[in-house]
């Protein structure tokens, strides 16, 4: 096996290319990326302190060259022929492969109301540049969708002096991924900062300088941003006859229904031990899956089984969530000097933890909580709640036991 092709030069595709070399793969590596830039990180797009679009490259051209990665910048894969093991490119070229990684990521869901074409997406550097260059102090921005990206954007724009309205179908913002306690703290902070919320509301129409809500309310909007979530980019996989669902379906080893094709990152839906498939949309998941997929592409057989983790920054607050908190988990709160932690127990076992605090306050504790989760312990809830009980000491005694 000496030719590996990667489609998609985002976090997952780029990390996988380097991880192939770290795994000792000496054959050719081609990285096909449709965006006209060097690979770049998406999280900084919605967190610029000065409210201007920021491009943070994942690597420079020298690093790609030094690792012997052939980066096809601004080139799209148009089709895959799994029988011939060949990728067709939009520039007329073709790439033969022995093994292929699909790291095509996700695309923003589009609004379906009249005037939806007026709304900006927020996924790429080009989207960020278009939004931030227009959103000046004194202008009105309506953000459709009160999820993580919509709320991060709201925070950046408020700091810049922009008037921000958030329209959300659900009764509360941040309801999907953020534990209710912290969703409500962040919501309160946005209210204090002057963000106007229209909750439990659909959109009737996006007009020239307004958004008309389902109940007839007219929201002033010089700029409208659609932030209603993403759909996995499965088009190539589907056309190639691979199994797809809510993502490109893989087994636990990130291998698709074709034994020579793997998938990683936002596009991949990975088989779960209890049945079904799960897709994750986070920066660290993209990196973790990329590294495992690369080792498996290079001949390894490693199952993907890491604790999920994501963060968000809004104003001067930082939230981190490790694992997947569920409403039926027992939750235990610990107060910190400049923040709060919440631990989640499933039948007594620690399975998730979240923390919200000033800046990076909770980072160290969440790191320790991740280790405690990995250790599979059944901690004493009173010890978790007590800030005087050092989490490091808990970990030490868990390991000793
Ligand atoms: C604004 C923003 C802020 C975020 N903030 C956070 C955060 O704070 N914390 C966090 O954990 N996560 C955050 N995320 C999520 C995180 O960035 C993503 O989960 C991660 O980037 C996924 O990486 P990926 O490589 O799977 O997909 P992507 O980053 O989407 O990369 C896929 C790439 O593949 C390319 N591609 C697709 N099809 C083709 C084709 N046919 N040919 C060639 N190229 C193709 C696409 O153009 C794209 O460049 C944020 C995302 C966004 C958009």
For residue 292, what is the domain's CATH number? 3.50.50.60
Question: Mutation test of ligand 1: which of 186, 261, 266 has the most ligand atoms closer than 8 Å to its C-beta?
Answer: 266
Q: Are residues 7 and 70 in the same domain?
A: yes
Alpha-carbon dihedral of residues 34, 39, 42, 46, nearest 10 degrees?
A: -100
Q: Are residues 239 and 97 in the same domain?
A: yes
> Ligand 1 mean position to 188 CA, how many Å?
29
Task: State if residue 76 touches ligand 1 by the CB under 6 angstroms criterion.
Answer: yes
| Angle between helix 180-192 and 148-159 (nearest 10) | 20
Task: State if residue 30 touches ligand 1 by the CB under 6 angstroms criterion.
Answer: no
Each of the 401 residues of the chain gets a pLDDT tens digit; together they read: 799 999 999 999 999 999 999 999 999 999 999 999 999 999 999 999 898 998 999 999 999 999 999 999 999 999 999 999 999 999 999 999 999 999 999 999 999 999 999 999 999 999 999 999 999 888 999 999 999 999 999 999 999 999 999 999 999 999 988 999 999 999 999 999 999 999 999 999 999 999 999 999 999 999 999 999 999 999 999 999 999 999 999 999 999 999 999 999 999 999 999 899 999 999 999 999 999 999 999 999 999 998 999 999 999 999 999 999 999 999 999 999 999 999 999 999 999 999 999 999 999 999 999 999 999 999 999 999 999 999 999 888 877 77
Q: Collapse the DSSP code of 355 into the 3-class scheme (helix H, G, I; strand E, B; otherwise coil) and give the result.
A: strand
How many angstroms separate the Cα of 250 from the Cα of each of 98, 139, 261, 271? 18, 45, 9, 6
Task: State if residue 163 touches ligand 1 by the CB under 6 angstroms criterion.
Answer: no
User: For residue 143, what are its two tokens?
Assistant: 């953000």
In CATH, what number is assigned to the domain containing residue 339?
A: 3.30.390.30
Q: Are residues 100 and 245 in the same domain?
A: yes
Residue 307 lies in a domain: no
> Ligand 1 mean position to 395 CA, how many Å?
34
Count of positions (residues) in the chain: 401
Task: State if residue 131 touches ligand 1 by the CB under 6 angstroms criterion.
Answer: no
Phi, psi (rounded to 5 degrees) for 184: -70, -35
Total domains present in the chain: 3
Sign of CA dihedral 247, 249, 251, 254: negative
> Ligand 1 mean position to 266 CA, how many Å?
7
Q: Are residues 164 and 103 in the same domain?
A: no
Q: Are residues 188 and 263 in the same domain?
A: no
Range of the domain at 122: 116-226
Residue 220 lies in a domain: yes
Report the C-alpha gap between 12 and 300 in whole angstroms.
18
Q: Are residues 93 and 236 in the same domain?
A: yes
Report the C-alpha gap between 64 and 288 in whole angstroms.
20
How many angstroms separate the Cα of 174 from the Cα of each of 156, 267, 349? 16, 22, 26
Q: Are residues 221 and 321 in the same domain?
A: no
How many angstroms separate the Cα of 18 from the Cα of each of 1, 23, 63, 176, 305? 17, 9, 9, 33, 21
């Amino acid at each position: 096996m000496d030719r590996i092709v990667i489609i998609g030069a985002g976090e997952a595709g780029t990390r996988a290319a380097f991880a192939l070399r770290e795994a000792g793969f000496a054959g050719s590596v081609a990285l096909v990326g449709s965006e006209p830039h060097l690979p770049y990180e998406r999280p900084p797009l919605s967190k610029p302190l000065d409210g201007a679009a920021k491009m943070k490259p994942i690597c420079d051209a020298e690093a790609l060259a030094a690792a012997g990665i052939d980066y096809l910048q601004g080139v799209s894969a148009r089709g895959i022929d799994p029988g011939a093991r060949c990728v067709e490119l939009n520039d007329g070229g073709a790439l033969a492969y022995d093994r292929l990684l699909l790291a095509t990521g996700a695309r923003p869901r589009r609004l379906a109301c009249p005037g939806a074409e007026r709304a900006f997406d927020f996924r790429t550097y080009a989207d960020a540049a278009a939004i931030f260059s227009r959103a000046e102090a004194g202008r009105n921005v309506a953000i459709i969708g009160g999820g993580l990206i919509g709320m991060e954007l709201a925070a950046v724009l408020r700091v810049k002096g922009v008037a921000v309205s958030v329209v959300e179908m659900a009764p509360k913002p941040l309801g999907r991924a953020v534990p209710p306690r912290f969703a409500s703290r962040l919501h309160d902070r946005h209210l204090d900062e002057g963000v106007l919320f229209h909750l439990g509301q659909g959109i009737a129409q996006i007009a020239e300088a307004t958004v008309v809500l389902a109940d007839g309310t007219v929201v002033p909007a010089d700029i409208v941003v659609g932030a209603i979530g993403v759909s996995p980019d499965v088009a190539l996989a589907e056309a190639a006859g691979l199994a797809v669902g809510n993502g490109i379906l893989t087994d636990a080893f990130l291998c698709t229904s074709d034994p020579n094709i793997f998938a990683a990152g936002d596009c991949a839906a990975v088989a779960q031990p209890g049945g079904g498939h799960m897709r994750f949309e986070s920066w660290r998941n993209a990196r973790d899956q990329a590294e495992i997929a690369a080792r498996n592409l290079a001949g390894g057989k490693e199952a993907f089984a890491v604790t999920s983790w994501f963060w968000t920054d809004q104003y001067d607050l930082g939230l981190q969530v490790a694992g997947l908190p569920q409403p039926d988990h027992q939750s235990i709160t610990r107060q910190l000097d400049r923040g709060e932690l919440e631990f989640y127990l499933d039948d007594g076992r620690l399975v998730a933890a979240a923390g919200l605090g000033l800046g990076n306050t909770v980072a160290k504790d969440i790191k320790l909580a991740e280790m405690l989760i990995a250790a599979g312990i059944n901690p004493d809830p009173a010890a978790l709640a007590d800030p005087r009980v050092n989490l490091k000491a808990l970990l030490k005694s868990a390991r000793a036991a």
